[in-house]
Structures are given as structure tokens and as C-alpha cells.
Chain A
Amino acid sequence: MTAMAGAGTAARRRRRARALTYLAAVLLSLFVLVPIYFITVTAFTPREVSYDFPKPFIPGTVSAETVRFFADSTGVLAALWRSVVVAAMTLVLSTLLGAPAGYALARFAFRGKAAFRLLILSTRAFPIVILSIPLAVTFITWGISDTTYAVALMHTGLALPFTVLITSSIFVSVPKDLEEAARTLGCTPLGAFVKVVLPLALPGLAAAAIFTFVLSWNEVFAAVILTLRQRTLPALVLAALNTSPLPFRFAAAWFMLAPSLVVIFVIRRYLLGLWGRVAR
């Protein structure tokens, strides 16, 4: 193929490439969507269908029976509530602790800044979840083992480096000039932050917080190590997994999956910002 190829060939080639790209887009989307469709169908057909073979690709009857069976099972609602509590505590703690550091990284030049950044970045080289085993031993001596607090403390450790990096990139994107203008007009540093920076950073901060919530909502290894009776939903499902009936498992999977799909939809505009900037 030479650079001198006629304009017609080039156009044809570009059209073909375009068509192939659409084909790839469709195939890759099917890879993502079809499993979600399957689990949704399983969760919303009557319980017996879980055992049917071959399974109907288009469901005959839609029913909430399977989902209700799961929700009515012992401990599920309590675990669901604990999951929400743990995720909320994680969100609040990691934002309160991490956002100030993110702001410092974004706005101040100070000695040790590079070192701190490197420290936060290097936490990525460590499998943080695995640290729950020594932490579980520590929590026993502190007397808070098997509590939602213990899980939330662990999850905050997990989320904190991300919160610091994400919030720092959000604060960087708020123009410094505006903040300085507020300062020259007589605002205190705190006043400038509250009145000018915070409103502008809020949507991004909210997206980051929501992502932290999902991180905690989904986390299972630390949760199942740190708790026995006070289990979160994933921990409860995991511990009972190989002894529970099929409809229970399928409904559980749908329950854990559904909120995340909504969340990804809500924060879709921020996904690239959140993850892309963290990668820099």
C-alpha cells in the first residue's frame, strides 16, 4: 500500500475501517451487556426457572418471587443495611480525611510535597485488602472486632489514597484566579474556600464520594475477614455461597450489581476525570 493510493481507495478504506469499528463496538458491548441481561432475567423469573434447562432466553413470566425470596432470607435485610452504613461511614471518613490533603496538593507549594505525592501513589503497589488480616488481629485487641466500624475503618484505608488523588485533581481544575480574587476582596482563606472553591468543586467531589461508596459497597475480602455476625451483604453472601440454593445466589448477584449500574450512570461524565487523572 503506497501513500500515492488514489483518493477513491483511501475513502473506501476509511469507510471500511469505520464499519469495522462499529462492529467492534457492538461486539464489545454485547460482551459487557449480555451477562447483565442474563442475571437480570434469572433474578426476575419465578424461582423454579433457576433450575430449568435449557433456560429461556426471553423470559415467559416476569416475577419478583426470586428477589423476594432473597430479601426474606434470614439476615439479608440486616446485612443490606450494614452495607449501607459501612459505605456511608467510609464515604464521610475518607472525604473528611482525604479532601484537605487533596486541597493542599492542589494549591500549596511546600517542602515534602513530591514525597507525599509519591507516598500516596506508591500505595497502589500494595494489595491493601490483604492488610485486613493483621488489622483484624489489631481490632481484637482494640475491642472493635466484628463491628461495622472495623469494616468502615478498613475501607477508609482502602479508599483514602484514591480520595486524596481524586480530590487534588478536582481542586486543580478550579481556577486559582477565582480563589485569589476572593482573597483580595477580603475573604479569609477559609471563606474563599467555602464561598468560591467548594461550590465549583462540589459536583466532582460528589462523584468521587459516590465512587468511594461503591468501592466499599462492593468490597468483600476485608468485610468477610473482619466480621462474623455483623456481616455486610457481600460478606454474608460469600460466606453462605456454596451452601445456598441457586435462586438465592442469582438474586444476591443482582442485588449487589444493580446499585452499581445506577451509580456508574450517575457519575458517567466524571469517570474519565476520576480515573484518568488518577493515572497521571
Chain B
Amino acid sequence: MATGTATAARTAAPRRRLGWAPYALLAPSLVYLAVFFAMPMVNAFGLAFQGDAGGYSLEPIRRMLDDERFTQALTTTLLLVVVVVPIQFVVAMGMALVVNARLKGTDLWLYIFALPLGVSELAAGIVWFSIFTEQGWLNSLLTQVGVLERPFIFLDYQRPALLLLTIVAAEAWRATSIIMIILVAGLQGIPRDYLEAADVFGATAWQRVRHVILPLLRPSIRVALILRTILAFQAFATVIALAGSAAYVLAGEAYRWYWDIRDPRVAAAYASLILLLSVASTVLFLVLLPTHEEQLT
């Protein structure tokens, strides 16, 4: 900010003339987001409330609610979010603490834990399908060790709870790294003196996490939870890869209504519902985990 007076005199004139510059630089992304983000969002609700002859109607919403799959799709999605987010948080926290413990080869551990960051939903779903399928790796292991005599059917539509757990495993494997990265970045912002002070006073590892790390990490935790929850509400390809048509989720139903039934309005109704749930969950996290400098970060 504080440049010498000579330089200030030289640069003051061009700077004033460049007052429009930041706006010119922002304009392209603003326009783009208006067309490809704000507009479709408005259109999603427009479509969801559009009647057969055009005009306003509750017909698409009614069709969504009346659909025999609706309740299961909604409960499965909510259950998935409620189960997978806490599990992932704990695993990611473990990974982040390991990285932050400065073991030998910190970079290597970080790289390994971050690997799934680049793995797509679909690839992760198929990878875990190869593990859980009847002739898959898990059954191979369990029969060879002697725990099972013959393969157990994990991916069975008659056992929805187990099916959900296999999806949870795939989702946890795929998307824990993003939480881990955010937490590690947050941990690096915690002055090491604080942790050493806790050590000096004889705090156990758990006390350190509970009373020093977690409170200081709250902003990062909040961002990580918000990001992950929104991703979980959109769970789609992992579900199709693992469960096929044996389990329904909201995004999968949106896809089905768009291509199989060819009613984009009901698909848009599902999209709007996912949108509302995501915004609601964000607000919930913001309220439940307030930070000192209350900015939306």
C-alpha cells in the first residue's frame, strides 16, 4: 500500500484512470455465472412448476410426490448423507492428524491420502462393485481365510441397509480426501506453540484434539462439512454402479425422469428439491458452527 511519495505521484494518475479495470476483469465471469448458473437455477423452479400446456401448475411436483420411488429416493439420500458425512469426517480427521504429525515421508502420506481426490464417482462405484460383488474381492478374501464357506451376496436389493453401507464405503473412499485436504490446510494454520503448550501441560492426544485442535479448526471443519454434504446430496453414479436399480436416490430419479420417462419438468422438480436440501443444510451448518469472524467462508 505505502509506496514512496515519488512513486505515488507517478502511479496515481494511471491508477485513477484504471478505476474501471477490476470491473472489466470481473465482467466475463459475472456474465457467465448469470447465464449458466443463476438462469438455470431460476429455470429449474420454472420447469418444476410448469403445467402440460405451459403456465403455472403444481402438476410436476405432484407427479414427483406421487411417484412410487419418491419416498425411497428421499430417505436413501438423506440416510446416505447422515451416515457418510460423519464417517468421512472422522476418517479425514485421522488422515489430517497423521499428515500433521510430521512422520517420516509426510509428503508421501499426503499424496496417498489425496489420491482419490481425482477419482470420479463412477470409477469409484465400479471399483467398489468389484469388491462387493458376489464373485468379488471381499468374498474371495472371506472364503479363502475361511470366514465364509460360500460367497455372501452383499449387493442384495432385499437387504437395503447393507446395500446402503456398500454405497457409504464407496463414497467414503472417494470423497474423504477433499475433507482431509481442507483440514490439513486448516491444521497448518494452527501455531505449533499451542500444541506444544498442551504437551507441556501433559495433555493426552485426545485432550489436545478435543480442546485445542477442534475449536481452532472450526472454520475449516465448517467449509469441509458444507462442501461434502452438498456433494452427498448429489450422489448418483456410485449408487448406479453398486446398486443398479435396486436403490434409488434423488439425483438418479432426476436422471430417470429426464431420459427414461422424458419429463424434464419432473426431473427439474427433483433438481429443485436437491437444491433446497443443499441450501438448508448449508444454513444449518452455518448456524450450528458459528465462527468468531462471522463471514461466510
Contact = CB atoms under 8 A, between A and B. Distances in A.
A118 B127 CA distance: 38
B187 to A, nearest CB: 10
B256 to A, nearest CB: 11
B91 A271 contact: no
B188 A28 contact: no
A116 B23 CA distance: 10
A137 interface: yes
Nearest to A128: B37
Contacts, number: 311
A3 B201 contact: yes
Interface string A88-124: 0000000011101101100010100100101101111
B41 A126 contact: yes
Contact of B94 (A24, A129, A246, A263): A24
Interface string B131-171: 10101110111011000000100000000000000000000
A191 interface: no
B139 A97 contact: no
Contacts of B216: none
Interface stretch (A72-80, A200-208, A217-225): A217-225
A93 to B, nearest CB: 8
Interface in A236-268: 237-238, 241-242, 246, 249-250, 252-254, 256-257, 259-261, 263-265, 268
Interface of A: 1-3, 5, 10, 17-18, 21-22, 24-25, 28-29, 31-33, 35-36, 38-39, 42, 51-55, 57, 96-98, 100-101, 103-104, 108, 110, 113, 116, 118-119, 121-138, 153-154, 156-157, 160-161, 164, 180, 183-184, 189, 214, 217-221, 224-225, 234, 237-238, 241-242, 246, 249-250, 252-254, 256-257, 259-261, 263-265, 268, 271-272, 275-277, 279-280
Interface of B: 3, 7, 10-11, 14, 18-19, 21-26, 28-30, 32-33, 36-37, 39-41, 43-44, 46-47, 91, 94-95, 97-98, 101, 103, 107, 109-123, 126-131, 133, 135-137, 139-141, 143-144, 151, 173, 177-178, 181-182, 184-186, 188, 200-202, 204-205, 219-220, 223-224, 226-227, 230, 233-234, 236-237, 240-241, 244-245, 251, 254-255, 258-259, 264, 267-268, 271, 274-275, 278-279, 282, 296-297
Given A32-B177, A57-B140, A225-B258, 7 more contacts: A35-B127, A36-B127, A129-B234, A138-B40, A241-B240, A257-B119, A279-B182
